[in-house]
Amino acid sequence: MDGWENSDPRPLESSNPALLKNPMKNKNPSINLNEEYLLKILEQKKRPLKLKDLEESLHLSSQERKRLKSIVKGLLRKGSLFKLKNRMVGLRQEMNLETGTLWCTRKGNGYVIPDNENTQDIYIPQRFIKDALHGDRVVVRLDHRGKHIREGKILKVLERRTHTVTGFIKRHKNLLYLYPDDERMPHHFVIKDSPEAKGLSDDMLVACRITQFPEDYKEPVCKVVKVFKTLTDVKAISLFITYKYGLPMKFKNTTQRYLKDKRLSINGQEGEDLRSKPFVTIDGEQAKDFDDAVYVEKTRRGFTLYVSIADVSRYVPVDSPLDHEAYERGTSVYFLGSVIPMLPKVLSNDICSLNPDEDRCTVTVELKYDTQGNLTGYLFYPSLIKSGMRLTYTKVEDILVNKKRPFKKGMEHIYGQIEHMAELASILKDKREKRGNIDFDLPEPEIVLDTEGGLKAIIKAPRLFSHRIIEEFMIAANEAVAEFITRRHQPLIYRIHEPPDKEKLITIERLLHTLDMGYGKYATQQLYLQSLLKKVRGTVYEYFINRIILRSMKQAKYSAFNKGHFGLASKIYTHFTSPIRRYPDLVNHRILKGIINGGYLYNEEELERMALHLSDRERIAMEAEREAEDRVRVLFMKDKIGEVFEGIISHITSYGFFVELIDLFIEGLVLLSDIPDDYYIFEEEKFRLTGRRTKKTYRIGDRARVRVIKADVERNQLHFIIATN
């Protein structure tokens, strides 16, 4: 077992991969020709070079020349090199070029999220997007650097990342066209003649595979792979979203063959036997994969927290077919009533899942705290546990709040265990709040299905303290792992969350001013935002102010370089506690076990490449989940046409305003064209629309009674009108 590591407040150091010091001095004809070597040479030459010049200066053999061409092609594909018109190649960063992922907007313009996370996003006007599609990896030339914005032009598509497109059929003369339902896709596609295209008519909803991209002045072409017609139930919506976002429907044959040939068992586990400790899992009622089990010991000196995480790395060897597919997927995707798992169910729901009364291989994080919740030491080691009970959040809440005693004789010790957990979690929560943790502690909308999988209701699912217990313990474990690996000078995949732009905070302050809600000065941005959330708690503005602040935040992402976590007010953070459903956690397990056992370690460059891919996969999964939920909400409103609801104006635009229905968490649009009593002026700075003649206003935060007039699931549109008495 690794010895206790004492907490140390000194600044953390990061490690950097070693580079070749001077490759030009190497005159050996049998040089180690690789990407790093070639980039170093071009850097020292300080100008673009022709391939022929490189070959001659390096005195390469014919075999090495072939190798050089292959390396140059690879670097051109990556975007590290860029080819000029005169057949020269140069370093991308020396030519005012950047690479990144294109993220389009519904207005037609876009932003490139740079591969280099130390630089801000690049705005791309619509006319300079050219043939690139939403999600593509591109090369951008920077044309303008303002104080708050960088602007550029797309020069080249490095990687096509969108291969499936969904939308509506339109017939023009003798041709069928697909008009994408996603407004971020500006092109319409010619539909290739095929058996699947027979019998299609206008406005049918279909999914197509792109067979020709919009390049070299050619129209994009696609082939129909699935006809949906209408989306009338939850399953149809989930399947549609799966096609739209190109999500995998089944595991590859190579993965399935690998699992069939591999015998999975827990035999031969080396590590601490913790089966005598009464671990429990605490999850939602519908959970099927259990990553984590917890146990707390209370002593006179404080607490010892045990967080045992499924040892997924034991069953997913590096570079195996299973590993390759898990990396490609990046994360599990959760829809209502179904899941697209990162790992096959034999792992996620069985051999890796910490099911009750079954021996399971885990990696344990053992954390020692004093009575004030200060971390005094930590241990990390492989272990064998047996979860004593599968608890749910509601059951734990009943025990803590309602003092219920549901367990059979012989299980009474669980009550004391839960009390100890609650006590430690409360202490940790208070400490994090003092340092500025931003807590969006809101009830979540919960969509309830009937026994046949149909929509039954949308209810307000309360935030329970039992949720907080597990959150606090997982955050504590993630922070401890990040600190331990970093102090050992080993690279890892950090979970970073950068502060919001100052302009976003200024916008929030202006909004509060229009709502007659004051704001003060605080030591940190976190404490300021924390105070706002407390100010609106329990008011009619609570939900939408939380939403506005949440939207102002930058998205958390993965990186090989530590930048802290703004939302958690944490100086160093990672993801470690969910390796069944998140690939970064699996990588960090391997790194931690590598430190303990002296095994496989990654380098920083490899981890940064992984982090970019995994951040993209997470972004796609989140967007898919969000759109599926939105469409299900529209489906829920389909039989409520004509009904009147109370809501709050949550967003103002030049063409209308959005109303969030109270308690249903459903947002719909009121178009100005449906308000015939006046012409309305959009006053963006004041967050309102004002009638020219009547001076009537519609302002963010105002209550509104609305009537449902349209619920189109296929087009994902929910429209209201103002209800008159």
Which three-class secondary structure state does DSSP give residue 593?
A: helix
Same-domain pairing of 585 and 601: yes
pLDDT 10s digits, 667-685: 999 999 999 999 999 998 8
pLDDT for the residue numbered 519: 64
Same-domain pairing of 380 and 477: yes
CA–CA dist 208, 477 (Å, integer): 44
Same-domain pairing of 101 and 198: no
pLDDT for the residue numbered 409: 66
**Would the pLDDT of 72 be above 70?**
yes
Question: Per the domain annotation, does 526 fall within a domain?
Answer: no
Among 547-551, 563-567, 588-592, 608-612, the least confident range: 547-551
Question: Looking at 629, 651, 677, which one is the last position of a domain?
Answer: 629
Question: Per the domain annotation, does 177 fall within a domain?
Answer: yes
Q: CA neighbours within 13 Å on the CB side: how many for 204? A: 20
Question: Looking at 598, 629, 660, which one is the last position of a domain?
Answer: 629
Nearest to 654 by CA among 702, 686, 688, 677: 688
Question: Per the domain annotation, does 26 fall within a domain?
Answer: no
Please report, for the domain that includes residue 77, its CATH number.
1.10.10
Please report, for the domain that includes residue 118, its CATH number.
2.40.50.140
Question: What is the pLDDT averaged over residues 99-113?
Answer: 90
CA–CA dist 266, 315 (Å, integer): 10
Same-domain pairing of 201 and 53: no
Same-domain pairing of 385 and 425: yes
Same-domain pairing of 298 and 150: no
Same-domain pairing of 272 and 394: yes
Question: Per the domain annotation, does 538 fall within a domain?
Answer: no
pLDDT 10s digits, 29-47: 456 777 777 788 777 777 7
Q: Please, which pLDDT band fits residue 177 given cuts at 50, 70 and 90?
A: very high
Same-domain pairing of 595 and 683: no
Percent of the chain scoring above 70 in pLDDT: 91
Cβ–Cβ contacts within 10 Å for residue 226, how many?
16
pLDDT for the residue numbered 9: 35
CA–CA dist 336, 240 (Å, integer): 13
Same-domain pairing of 149 and 168: no
Tokens 């309602």 found at: 402
Question: Per the domain annotation, does 522 fall within a domain?
Answer: no
pLDDT for the residue numbered 69: 82
pLDDT for the residue numbered 591: 97
Question: What is the pLDDT averaged over residues 190-194?
Answer: 89
Question: What is the pLDDT averaged over residues 304-315?
Answer: 96
Q: Please, which pLDDT band fits residue 611 given cuts at 50, 70 and 90?
A: very high
CA angle 635, 637, 643 (to 5 degrees): 160
**Would the pLDDT of 316 be above 90?**
yes
Q: CA neighbours within 13 Å on the CB side: how many for 224? A: 26
Range of the domain at 127: 96-159
Its pTM stands at: 0.86
Query: What does residue 681 show for φ and ψ, rounded to 5 degrees?
Result: -95, 130
**Would the pLDDT of 498 be above 50?**
yes
Same-domain pairing of 147 and 170: no
pLDDT for the residue numbered 60: 75
Give me the chain's average pLDDT, please: 87
pLDDT for the residue numbered 31: 61
Same-domain pairing of 494 and 559: yes
Question: What is the pLDDT averaged over residues 387-414?
Answer: 83
**Would the pLDDT of 572 be above 70?**
yes
Task: Name 652's Cβ contacts closer than 8 Å, sequence gap at least 6.
Answer: 658, 682, 684, 687, 688, 689, 698, 699, 700
Question: Per the domain annotation, does 414 fall within a domain?
Answer: yes
Please report, for the domain that includes residue 170, its CATH number.
2.40.50.700
**Would the pLDDT of 10 be above 50?**
no
Question: Per the domain annotation, does 706 fall within a domain?
Answer: yes
pLDDT for the residue numbered 530: 85
Question: Per the domain annotation, does 612 fall within a domain?
Answer: yes
pLDDT 10s digits, 687-713: 999 999 999 999 998 999 999 999 999
Question: What is the pLDDT averaged over residues 377-395?
Answer: 94
Same-domain pairing of 485 and 618: yes
Question: Looking at 629, 655, 679, which one is the last position of a domain?
Answer: 629
pLDDT 10s digits, 110-135: 999 888 776 788 999 999 998 999 99
pLDDT for the residue numbered 15: 35
- Considering its fold, how many domains does the chain have in total? 5
